[in-house]
Every structure is written in structure tokens, then in C-alpha cells.
Amino acid sequence: MSLNYFFKPRAIAVVGASSNRQKIGRQIFDNIIKGGYEGKIYPINLTSRSIANRLAYSSLSELPRMEFKSMLVVIAIPAPLVIDEIKKCAKLGIKNIIIISAGFRESGAAGKRLEKKNISLAAKYQLNILGPNCLGMINTFEGINTTFASAKKQIGNIAFLSQSGAIGSAALDWLKNKNINFGYFVSLGNKAVMTENDILEQISRDSRIDLIVAYLEEIQSGQELMTIISRIAKRKPVAILKSGQSDLGRKIALSHTGSLAGSQEVIKTGLQRAGAIWLDNLEDLFNLLGLFQKNLWQNKKNQDIYVVSNAGGPAVLTVDEISRQQLNLGGNFDLLGDADAKRYQSTLKKLLINPRVNNVLVILTPQNVTQPLETAQVLVSLNKKYPHKLIMASFLGGPAVTDAKKLLEKNNVPVFDYPEEAILSFKKIIDYKNNYQSIIPYKPLTKKSRTKINSGDYLKSLAWLKKYGIKTVRTTKYSAKTKYQYPVVLKAVGPNFLHKSEKGAVITNLSNAKELKLAAKKLNGKYKKLFVQSTNYLVVQPQIEQKQEIIVGFKRDKSFGPILMLGLGGIYTEIFKEVVLITSDLNYQRAQQMIKSLKIYPLLSGARNQASYDVRGLAQILLKLAKLANEHPEVKELDINPVFLQAKQSLAADVRIII
Amino acid sequence: MSLNYFFKPRAIAVVGASSNRQKIGRQIFDNIIKGGYEGKIYPINLTSRSIANRLAYSSLSELPRMEFKSMLVVIAIPAPLVIDEIKKCAKLGIKNIIIISAGFRESGAAGKRLEKKNISLAAKYQLNILGPNCLGMINTFEGINTTFASAKKQIGNIAFLSQSGAIGSAALDWLKNKNINFGYFVSLGNKAVMTENDILEQISRDSRIDLIVAYLEEIQSGQELMTIISRIAKRKPVAILKSGQSDLGRKIALSHTGSLAGSQEVIKTGLQRAGAIWLDNLEDLFNLLGLFQKNLWQNKKNQDIYVVSNAGGPAVLTVDEISRQQLNLGGNFDLLGDADAKRYQSTLKKLLINPRVNNVLVILTPQNVTQPLETAQVLVSLNKKYPHKLIMASFLGGPAVTDAKKLLEKNNVPVFDYPEEAILSFKKIIDYKNNYQSIIPYKPLTKKSRTKINSGDYLKSLAWLKKYGIKTVRTTKYSAKTKYQYPVVLKAVGPNFLHKSEKGAVITNLSNAKELKLAAKKLNGKYKKLFVQSTNYLVVQPQIEQKQEIIVGFKRDKSFGPILMLGLGGIYTEIFKEVVLITSDLNYQRAQQMIKSLKIYPLLSGARNQASYDVRGLAQILLKLAKLANEHPEVKELDINPVFLQAKQSLAADVRIII
């Protein structure tokens, strides 16, 4: 799927252009003309012969045949009529289409059927369709604005993708008074054919783009998205705001451990694996856009922040935030309440001339002799003088600082309503800066095993672990005749004993044959009915002391593939949510990082005079589990709960496989 | 200390009023006149005989003697000259003074000495001095503005206290374009004499004030502040932004458990005990002010939030935040992208007429047919029609929504830059609303015991616990001759064994006399030098199984008094920061609440088929410990680590008292 002509067409036809200025098709047509697009522009209208003083055509088929291959068609007519235009495109050899029209999937069953038809046509004729139900696309480099929103013409270094037209139009409007510009703007709409994946792939190749920001509501193909983002993020930042977090809220409320990997957490895990910057809310998103007025993230020098202010209180609050974000304060310069623009200037000059100083936050509140506008001018000129240093500003107050803030915004100085916000945005960039070089491109591992796992039987499941090299606690079916080495543990296992401990189906510390027999009698009596089923039975394991209980497992996500989980085992797992997630393309180093990111890591590694545990063995278990997950797509879920982590070895003590 | 005349003087004299318009004293003088103050205003200047067409006086002593008692004097002259004016005030019987002048404590040793002199004079003559180094005071009810900042004259229902002049002036400026007004504004400055406590006490009595907001940098008398706020908060909300949180960061980094009660955490504990609303940053503060345009917190009806928007994306993000804040969504009304003002109106009308609907958040982004200004007008008129319902707005975008936002702000509709912020502010109010009626006035308990605790000796410390009714594990000095009931634990105790476990100074599970003897030999050998000191010795305790380890203790804060701590014992304490703090004015109900607020509470109370523990006994230990803390001010710190919590009893197994 080449999108070259989609973003850089030689001609644009607007189906639904109208002589009525109120019609969306006409607004789009006008925006394309206003944008300064240099290719040919064809209005298509059944009845009018002239629109906005241009010759109008009654059908796409009337247009010059040689244009079709390199043409973009924008469709803005009622939904039921769209399908015929797409058929026409397919017939004429037109590949690139934007469907602005609403009335599809978002509007009920009939719309859903219409949308499905589009998809099958698109697949058959390999059409690049954006939308339907979208705002359109803007490419400022080519002077193209196919949206019905008024937008700035200035070219810029940011690409903005939005699955919400509303957020898209808010962003376009928000830019207007600022010297921040989009290179590309793409409203994804219903994503019936083209998704964020196709757009990202194409846009990221443009070296004029320094930052890609996307707002997404659903991600159909997480593994593909990870593949694409991980390749892009090695070169330039990609920031994602994903809505729908309340889903997670609902899922976390469930008590089952499997629910620890709720869907929003899975998405976050996947996108962070790919190296994306994770945005928490709209404020985060807009603040990051603001910060990107200067493309400074590649600056690998000193990352300390220097605070210059005429306001002690706000400066203290800023330092609090710097400390909370684990950033470094280079220095705090209190110019006192009677600082005029000159005092700001002389301090800032001295600071900025120092090669160690790269990041300055300037705070101002309007006091008696404060000169907000003149101080803003000082920042603007220093900002020009030091194009490779980051000067951020936070001017607090109301009308006294309005003009100063406007001046800063017009002149590429990132301005924040509150100084703490500047720190939060800066932190996101610093984290990316420190990590992007070590991003390993994601590749979904699809090597399938010849033998399938076809049973969740307990002993067979343990055997599968052994087959993958995971050591297990010696486990045998209970038999009254066998001679065991005591002490032992007796467990009831099988599909009806998924929560053994809570069911009282585990009896530990049985120190002789008599005790074991008694325990077996007790369980056999208690669960008589369940043992009728042959998959439920009793097993015996040796009693193991001196251990730390750990839980590992994976859950297969439809979109993001297998997601591995590692956490503290035992009673505290869910209490402290001590669980980390990771994608299954694991190597030893990342398995170790995963273990180190646990809060309990100091306890595992022997800190504070604690015993140390077989952390390497645990990393190996994770690797082997990842291999199993990648080779057995038939397994939906697998938990090893607990792993007994000992000083010299790690043993799987229990397992649960769901197919 | 009566502050009646301080806030409502019959006359105001400005020492330092000048014919030079640039002088601060003159600006203050002008502001008082501009404010419309109806009492007498006297400019005091050594040389000028007329200032701003008013008769000037060369000294306070020239003023009519009968005015002195009810007069407020504002001093704005160089710091070294201030002391003479205060002496003059004292001599003349003037009680109420504001020192605007800087150059005191904040400026070094000489300034510090000057400030001390002020304090001793103030004490001697019982003067009410605000400042020095402050912006002054505003009382809009009386038309008084003694600051040198330009400020609105409109009366309002908010009192604002600030220890930072900069934040104060930013707030005054921020108000200007909004229909939010301060009743009182007090810049606290150096708090040499009067503190937030005096001001709060006075201002809170004014029934025209609905909300008190304070920015504080240091709190000298936490117990007094708790006493005052807890009385106020039963009637109206008090919100505090306290800077200096990075202190905590530093302290938390220390590994000692005692540090878990870092100073900022103590302050938060104290203020939340008193019922104050805790603000996290400047954005929080300004958003709360914005929300208080309507005084609706007493509204005890349905607290669900209804979201109305023309923007699916932002609405989803808002619902995410509502869920994250554990608030209730009443309903989400998507008016679609082509909603005009009428569509907003008809939906909102239907909603607001419903008596169950009390809180509505209206989201708008500028799209094709959106009417931001007209929609704002709809909100303004509905806001007037429903004075007892909360209508909040978040209009996203740039210039397209600027005028609409201004209109809303001018007409008492709280506007937020991002919808998630509205939810965060609303949450603070709801939490207050749900709790204020159960606030119990704080009273520091000062009943001192006749006998002082004068030793940190281990066995004596255990005896003190017993004296207060706290059961302890049977503990005796080790002697080779004694016959013990095995198994036992051997510990080295004393001032050199504060971190016993990490020192390897605890040997557990000794099952006979031989093992005990061997263990004693080992410790005696290892710590030979330490045992020379008679306060270090070996003790024996029975080995206790089937227990949950808990840690309790207290630490005496100079400002806030004894702060009790309760947490998970053992190796996880510091890993998961599972610690809660509380002030020592405990009753059984609050002790129980404290226990219930632990994340591990479900484990203690027998959830998920766990054993249940003696939670009541633990509450009793907390009560007894609080009593000890209140009666023994000589004890700086006390830890019981661990408490062995068993099914039927709770035992102190170790103790450490620091005097």
C-alpha cells in the first residue's frame, strides 16, 4: 500500500462540492483552494456546472483519465451514495480516497453494513480509504487542507493523528495563536480501511517531522502498531493518548489474578515496549505539543533544570515537582519580587552562556515593578540567540501577563499555565531521550510448534513446563501405597481447583504417612463429587522451605499478542498490585530489567542483609515461558503460581493452562 | 488578641505615604483611596505637608488621640526605621499594624535582629502586627486595600491567605477577568508576630466567607492550626497548599523506618485530621477557586456527574477520569459534532429540570457548525436559572472559544482548560462534603504523667508498655542457668542494637538448652565489645508462630505533636510503604479507621479465606500508645516493631524508646 499519492496527489477531486457555501463539500473545496495547493482541483457536482468560478464536473468519470492514478478523491455526500462513488473510483483506477461523510458504523446497523461494503471493495481493488466519518487530512508541505475546518497554512514539524474529530478540530484551533504548526494532520474517523498503522508508516518517513502525536480510542492490531512504532521511535518520538482507561477500572475490581493484566494496562505495556511516550490526559497532550516548538530532544547534554523567578513560592513548588519527578535541579535563582526585565536578562545571560546550562524555566508573577511584556521580550531574544537550548516559561496571573504570554507563544517559547506542568512535560521528553537509542524493533514471533498443547490437565501442564526447560517441584499423583519422603504437601488439582488455597484444597507440612492419609481422606470426603471427574485429582509434592513465592504467567491479548506477567506471589500479590507486564519478545537483558523493576527486587537480590535468591533462574523461567507463549498460540493463558524462588534454584510449584 | 479593628479600622494611617507616585507607600495610600474606604485616611510623611491633595502629617503622634485604639497603621519605610514607628505605636496605644517593608529575616543576620526586636515589642504591648515583608491586607467588605497591588473592589465569598507575596499578587491579577472575588486577602509575609492561626481565627467568623484558601511555606504551630482549622472546617471548607514537599523526598530516601514519618507527611496528616482540603499544586489551587464561583458545597443531594458534549473523545477521557476518581457518572450525553447551541440548550434543559441532576460538565470543541459563544450564553442563562446546581464547562481549542470562555468566567460558570481538571476539583469538594459533618474538633492532650520515662533500657521500656496495658511477649534477661520452655528466640538488645535483624542479632527457633547456649556464645563473642556497656544485653523470648507482624509507633513533631504510625511489619514495610499516620487524639473509632485504611486490612480481617487476626486488640494498642504519647512529652520516639498479631491477642515483641 503506497500512500505517496494519498499525501501528495497531483490532483484533488471533491465529490459533493457545491455552490451552496454551507455544504461541507463546498467548505472542503474552498479550504483546498485557500491552502494554496498547486495541483489541479476538480469540483464534482451532479447539477452545477460552475462552483466558485471553476468548471464543475458531473462525475469522476469525466475527469482526464491520466490523472486517476495520482489523484486524491474527497467524498462528502450522504452515506448511502458513497458506495457508488467508490465503485466508480475502483473502476477508473483511482486509489486514494477520503470519505468525510458520516452515517456509517457509528450510526447503527444499516451504517455498519454500508461500511462493510466499503471494506470489501477496498480490499478487492487495494484502495487507500481514510474514514469514513472523519475530518480529513492536512499536509501543509503541499498546501493541502481537505478538512472542513479552518487551519493554519504554516508548515511544521509535528504530525497529529486523531481518532476523534473533536480533538482534532480543537487542536487545529488551539494552534492558531501559537507558533506551533502541524506538518501533517490526519483525522482517522472510523478506520474502516486505513488505520493509524498505515498513516504512521508513511508519515514517519518524512524527515521534516520531529514528533508524532496520536489520540486513539481503539487499536485493532497492536502487534503491528508495536512493530511500526518501535521502528519510528528509534528515530523520533511518538506520543500516544489512549482513552478508555475506565475499562481497566472495571477489570481491576475483579478479584481474579488474571485480571491484573487489564486491557488498558496491556496497551500501555505494548506501547511502552515500542518506545512510545505515554500521555495521561488532554493536558499532557497539549503541553507536549507546546514543548515541541523547539526540536531539542536530541540534545544529549546536561539535563539539569535551572529555575529563574521573581517569585519564591512558585519556585519552591517547582522544585518540589522537580524532586518528585526525579529530575535534577541545576540551580534556583530567586530574583526577588522587585525584579525588572533587566534583572531577568542579566541572570539569564549569565546562565545561558554556560555550556552546562541547557534547560531553563523562567517563572514570573506580576508584582509591583514587574515588566511582564519586557521580560517576555528578553526571553524571545535569548530564545533566538540560543536555538539549541530549551527556555520554558510560566507567567502566572491574569490580564497583567496575557500579552506577555501571547508574545512568547508567537515566538517559540513554550509557555505553561503553571510551572509544575512544564516539569511534567519535560520529564516525558527526558525519559524518551534517555531510552530511545536502546529501543529494539519489535517483531511478533510466530514460529509455531508442531505439537499443540491440547489439555489443561495438571500433570500434563507441568510436563509442558519441563519440556521448555522450566524446573518443577517433583509432583506425583497421590497414592496411599507410595512411600514419600516427608514432610510433604497434598493438593487437590484440576479444573475445579483453580483457586486451591482459598478452597482449602492445599494441606502443607504433612510429616508422616499417617498425617498424609488423614489429609487425603479429608479432601476426598470434602470434594467427593468433584473427584468423579478424572481431571480432578490429588497430587503430592515435597514440602519446600526457605523460599520466596513469585508468580509468573502470560495472557494472550487479541491485539497485542502474549503479555507476560511477573509479580510477588502469595497473599500480597493483589494487595500491593506488585505486578509488572512485558511483551513476549523477551531477551535475557529485558527479563532482568523486568525483575529489577519489581519493588521487591531489593529483597530478592540480598539487600538489607536479606538472603539472596536465584534471580538469574527466574529470568530464565521468563525466557522459557515467553518461548512457550510464542510457539503455542493455542494457549490463551498460563499461570505459574507460585514459583518457589530459592537461593540456588527456581521451581514451578503450580501451574494452570487455559486453552 | 482581638483583630476587629485590624480588619475594620475606623481610620488608616500610611507611614511612608509620599508625593512621589513611584514609592510603595504612595501606591498603598492611593489604593486605599481608590478602594472606597469610608474611614479617615492619614498620610504620614516627614517632609511633605500635602499628599494627593490631602493634609499630610509628619508623625503618628500628630493624629487625633481618640483614633488610636481603632486605627490601622500601614508602614512602608526602610526596615531600619520601622522599629521607631512601632515604638511610637506602642506608646500611643495603636494596636494594629501592617509592616510592608522588606529587609528583615529574609535578608540576613541584621534583618533577623531587627525582626526579633519587633517581636519583643509586639509581645510587650500586645500589638497585632502583620508582616514584615508582606503585600498587605484587603477587606473588600470595608473597601480596604492596603496592598500596593491593584485589586478588584467587588466583594466576594473567598478568603485568601498567602505566605508568598508572589502567589498573592498572581491570584489578585488572575481574578480580574473573572467573576470570582475575595472577601479577604491577607499576605502573611514573615509572620514575625501574627500567623495564619490568628488570621484564620478572625476571618472564619465572618459568615459572608464560604471558602478559605491558604498557601503556606512553614507552619510554626501545627497543633494550634489543627485546633483552629478543625473548628472552622465543621462549618466551611479550608484548603491548604503547602510547599516544601521535596523535603519529604529527601527524608523518604533515608532507609530508617522512623523516616517514614517525614515532615511533609506529618503536616498532611495533621491538616487532613483537622478536615482541611489538601491541594497538590498551583493548578489545584486556582481550579478550586474557579469552582467556588458558586457556593454549592453544602448541597447534599445526588452527587453524580452528568457529561454533555459535542465531542466523543474528550467525553471518553472525562469518563475515564470520573472512574479513576471513584465518582459516579450520572449519564454521558453525546450531542454529536454538529451540535449547535440549541441542541445543547434542549438537552441541558431536560437534564437540569430533573431534581436528581445537580452537577453537569459541559464539553465543547469548535467544529463545523459549533456555536461557542451562543452555547456559552445558553450556559450562562441556565446557570442563573438554576442557582443551586453546579454547571461546569470545558471549552477546548484556541481563538474559536476564547470569547465564549470569557463570557462564562464573567458569569459565574466555572471554566476549566481541560475536562479532566474539572473532575479533579469536583472530587476535592465531594470528599469534603462527605466528611465535614463528622469532623471532631482537635484538642492537644497535655495531661502529663507524674513519673517521667527516663531510660531507653529495653526491659524497662517493655515494662512501660505493660504499665499502659499493652501486652508484651514474655521477655527475660538471658541466663545460662535459667530453664526455658523451648523453642525460644535469643536477641541482643540495647542502644547498639537498634537494627537487630540486619545486624544478625536475633536468633530464632532455638529448640533446646544446648542450641540456646551455643547461640548465646556466638552473640557474646561477636559483640563482646558492646556488651561491656550494661545497657546492651541478651534477652530470651518464647518462639511465637501463627502471627502477622505489624509495626506501630509514634514520633513527636515539634509543631504537630505526637504522630502515631501503623504499618505492615517485617521485610515489606519499606518496600511497599504500607504505613498510615494519625494524630494522637485517638478514639476507638478512629483507631479502627486507621487499621481499615491499610491495604493489608483484608488480610487481617479474614478476607479471601485467610485466617483472621485480633484487629480489636490492635486498635487497643494504638489507643494505649496514644495515651502514653500524650502523657509523656519527654519521649521523642517510640517504636513497637513488631507487634505479633494473632487470632486472639496482640503482643508487643520488641520496643525502642528514644528520649
CATH of residue A51's domain is 3.40.50.720
Contact check, Cβ <8 Å, B282/A396: yes
Would you give the DSSP letter of residue A531? Answer: G
B20 to B15, B52, B71, B77: CA distances (angstroms): 14, 10, 24, 13
Q: Which long-range contacts (CB under 8 A, 24 or more apart) does B282-285 make?
A: B282/A314, B282/A317, B282/A396, B282/A418, B282/A419, B282/A420, B282/B167, B282/B241, B283/A417, B283/A418, B283/A420, B283/A421, B283/B421, B284/B241, B284/B424, B284/B425, B284/B428, B285/B213, B285/B215, B285/B239, B285/B241
Interface contacts A/B by beta carbons within 8 Å: 225
Which amino acid would we find at residue B65? Answer: R
Is residue A221 a contact partner of residue A248, using CB atoms and an 8 Å limit? Answer: no
Residue B230 within a domain: no
Is residue A366 a contact partner of residue B147, using CB atoms and an 8 Å limit? Answer: no
For residue A263, what pLDDT band results from cuts at 50, 70 and 90?
Answer: confident
Q: Please tell me which residue of chain B has the smallest CA distance to A367.
A: B169
Last residue in a domain, options B152, B179, B209: B209
Residue B229 within a domain: no
Bridge partners (DSSP) of residue A407 are none
Contact check, Cβ <8 Å, A311/B167: yes
CA A300 to chain centre: 24
Helix axes B246-253, B263-273, angle to 10 degrees: 120
Max CA pair span of chain B: 101
The candidate with the shortest Cα–Cα distance to B580, out of B556, B564, B569, is: B564
Residues A404 and A380 in one domain: yes
Q: Is B460 helix (H, G, I), strand (E, B) or coil?
A: helix
Q: What is the tally of helices (H) and strands (E) in chain A?
A: 21, 28
Task: Give the number of other Cβ atoms within 10 Å of residue B213's Cβ.
Answer: 23
Contact check, Cβ <8 Å, B170/A397: yes
What's the pLDDT tens digit per position in B333-378?
999 888 999 999 999 999 999 999 999 999 999 988 899 999 999 9
Residue A261: its pLDDT value, please?
38
Interface of B with A in 438-497 (CB under 8 A): none
Distance from CA of B32 to the nearest CA of A (A): 16
CA distance B427 to B520: 58
Residues B8 and B71 in one domain: yes
Residue A234: its pLDDT value, please?
94
Q: Nearest-5° angle of CA B433, CA B437, CA B439?
A: 105
Residue B574: its pLDDT value, please?
77
Q: Is A357 helix (H, G, I), strand (E, B) or coil?
A: coil
Would you give the DSSP letter of residue B56? Answer: -
Q: H helices within B597-650, ranges in order?
A: 601-604, 615-631
Is residue A7 a contact partner of residue A95, using CB atoms and an 8 Å limit? Answer: no
| Chain A contact set for B366 (CB, 8 A) | 169-170, 173
Per-residue pLDDT for B249 more than 70? no
Handedness of CA A453, A457, A459, A461 (dihedral sign): positive
Residues B404 and B512 in one domain: no
Mutation pick from B152, B242, B365, B418 vs chain A, by most beta carbons of A within 10 Å, is B365
Among A106-110, A342-346, B27-31, which is the least confidently predicted range? A106-110
Is residue B432 a contact partner of residue B277, using CB atoms and an 8 Å limit? Answer: yes
- Beta-strand pair A488-493/A476-477: unpaired
Handedness of CA A49, A52, A53, A56 (dihedral sign): negative
Please provide residue B606's backbone torsions phi and psi, each rounded to the nearest 5 degrees.
90, 20
Residues B74 and B131 in one domain: yes
Contact check, Cβ <8 Å, A217/B399: no
Contact check, Cβ <8 Å, A246/B322: yes
Average pLDDT over residues B447-474: 91
Average pLDDT over residues A344-355: 97
CA distance A201 to A229: 8
What's the pLDDT tens digit per position in B193-205?
999 999 999 999 9
Per-residue pLDDT for A277 more than 80? yes
| B149 and A CB contact within 8 Å | yes
Residue A192 within a domain: yes
| A245 and B CB contact within 8 Å | yes
The total domain count for chain A is 4
| Chain A contact set for B418 (CB, 8 A) | 281-283, 286
Percentage of residues in chain A with pLDDT exceeding 90? 77
The candidate with the shortest Cα–Cα distance to B561, out of B581, B538, B537, B531, is: B581
Per-residue pLDDT for A5 more than 90? yes
Residues B493 and B572 in one domain: no
Residue A130 within a domain: yes
Per-residue pLDDT for B108 more than 90? no
Task: Give the number of other Cβ atoms within 10 Å of residue A239's Cβ.
Answer: 24
Would you give the DSSP letter of residue B356? Answer: T
Interface of A with B in 304-323 (CB under 8 A): 309-314, 316-317, 319-323
Residue A635: its pLDDT value, please?
94
| Chain B contact set for A27 (CB, 8 A) | 368
- Computed on alpha carbons and rounded to an integer, the radius of gyration of chain A in Å comes to 31
Q: What is the tally of helices (H) and strands (E) in chain B?
A: 21, 28
CA distance B184 to B159: 5
Residue B251: its pLDDT value, please?
36
The candidate with the shortest Cα–Cα distance to A639, out of A649, A653, A619, A627, is: A653
Last residue in a domain, options B509, B542, B575: B542
Residues B47 and B178 in one domain: yes
Per-residue pLDDT for A493 more than 90? yes
Per-residue pLDDT for B240 more than 50? yes
Residue A202 within a domain: yes
Identify whether A487 is preceded by a cis peptide bond (ω within 30 of 0): yes
Residue B390 within a domain: yes
Task: Identify the residue with better confidence: A417 or A577.
Answer: A417
For residue B609, what pLDDT band results from cuts at 50, 70 and 90?
Answer: low
What's the pLDDT tens digit per position in A611-630?
789 999 999 999 999 999 99
* Average predicted confidence (pLDDT) for chain B: 91
| B215 and A CB contact within 8 Å | yes
Query: Which cell numbers in the block locate residue B596?
Result: 481499615
What's the pLDDT tens digit per position in A38-93?
999 999 999 999 998 899 999 999 999 999 999 999 999 999 999 999 999 999 99
Query: Which cell numbers in the block locate residue A587?
Result: 531477551
CA distance B113 to B116: 5
Per-residue pLDDT for B250 more than 70? no
Residues A594 and A617 in one domain: yes
Contact check, Cβ <8 Å, B396/A24: no
CA distance B591 to B202: 33
Q: Please tell me which residue of chain A has the smallest CA distance to B174.
A: A398
| Chain B contact set for A398 (CB, 8 A) | 173-178
CATH number at residue B583: 3.30.470.20
Strands ordered across the beta sheet of A359-364: A329-334, A305-309, A359-364, A390-395
Percentage of residues in chain B with pLDDT exceeding 70? 96
Distance from CA of A125 to the nearest CA of B (A): 32
Percentage of residues in chain B with pLDDT exceeding 90? 77
Is residue A103 a contact partner of residue A79, using CB atoms and an 8 Å limit? Answer: yes
Task: Identify the residue with better confidence: A446 or A29.
Answer: A29
Q: Is A644 helix (H, G, I), strand (E, B) or coil?
A: strand
Is residue A333 a contact partner of residue A303, using CB atoms and an 8 Å limit? Answer: no
Domain coverage including residue A330: 305-436
CA distance B392 to B372: 15
Task: Give the number of other Cβ atoms within 10 Å of residue B569's Cβ.
Answer: 22
| B265 and A CB contact within 8 Å | no
Distance from CA of A112 to the nearest CA of B (A): 18
Mutation pick from A101, A105, A145, A167 vs chain B, by most beta carbons of B within 10 Å, is A167
CA distance A332 to A419: 13
CA A75 to chain centre: 31
Nearest CB to B316: which of A217, A311, A503? A217
Which amino acid would we find at residue A596? Answer: K
Per-residue pLDDT for A299 more than 70? no
Average pLDDT over residues B597-615: 82
Q: H helices within A576-635, ranges in order?
A: 588-596, 601-604, 615-631
CATH number at residue A313: 3.40.50.261
The candidate with the shortest Cα–Cα distance to A145, out of A27, A59, A18, is: A27
Per-residue pLDDT for A254 more than 60? no
Residue B261: its pLDDT value, please?
38
Residues B53 and B179 in one domain: yes
For residue A257, what pLDDT band results from cuts at 50, 70 and 90?
Answer: very low
Contact check, Cβ <8 Å, B419/A169: no
Last residue in a domain, options A194, A209, A224: A209
B126 — alpha (psi -120 to 50), left (phi > 0) or beta? left
Per-residue pLDDT for A162 more than 90? yes
The candidate with the shortest Cα–Cα distance to A283, out of A378, A421, A440, is: A421
Residue A258: its pLDDT value, please?
35
Helix axes A282-291, A419-435, angle to 10 degrees: 70
Residue A150 within a domain: yes
Residue A574 within a domain: yes
Residues A144 and A200 in one domain: yes
B603 to A252, B165, B620: CA distances (angstroms): 18, 49, 19
CA distance B615 to B648: 9
* pTM metric for this prediction: 0.91
| Chain A contact set for B577 (CB, 8 A) | none
What's the pLDDT tens digit per position in B282-306?
999 999 999 987 767 666 677 899 9
Residues B592 and B617 in one domain: yes
* Average predicted confidence (pLDDT) for chain A: 91
Distance from CA of A469 to the nearest CA of B (A): 31
| Chain B contact set for A245 (CB, 8 A) | 320, 323-324
Give the per-residue SS3 of B255-314. CCHHHHCCHHHHHHHHHHHCCCEEECCHHHHHHHHHHCCCCCCCCCCCCCEEEEECCHHH
Please provide residue A344's backbone torsions phi and psi, each rounded to the nearest 5 degrees.
-60, -45
| A340 and B CB contact within 8 Å | no
Residue B608: its pLDDT value, please?
59
Please provide residue A587's backbone torsions phi and psi, each rounded to the nearest 5 degrees.
-125, 175
Per-residue pLDDT for A256 more than 60? no
Query: Which cell numbers in the block locate residue A655?
Result: 501451574
Task: Give the number of other Cβ atoms within 10 Å of residue A108's Cβ.
Answer: 10
Query: Which cell numbers in the block locate residue A552?
Result: 509468573
Residues A517 and A617 in one domain: no
Residues B43 and B135 in one domain: yes
Average pLDDT over residues A618-647: 94
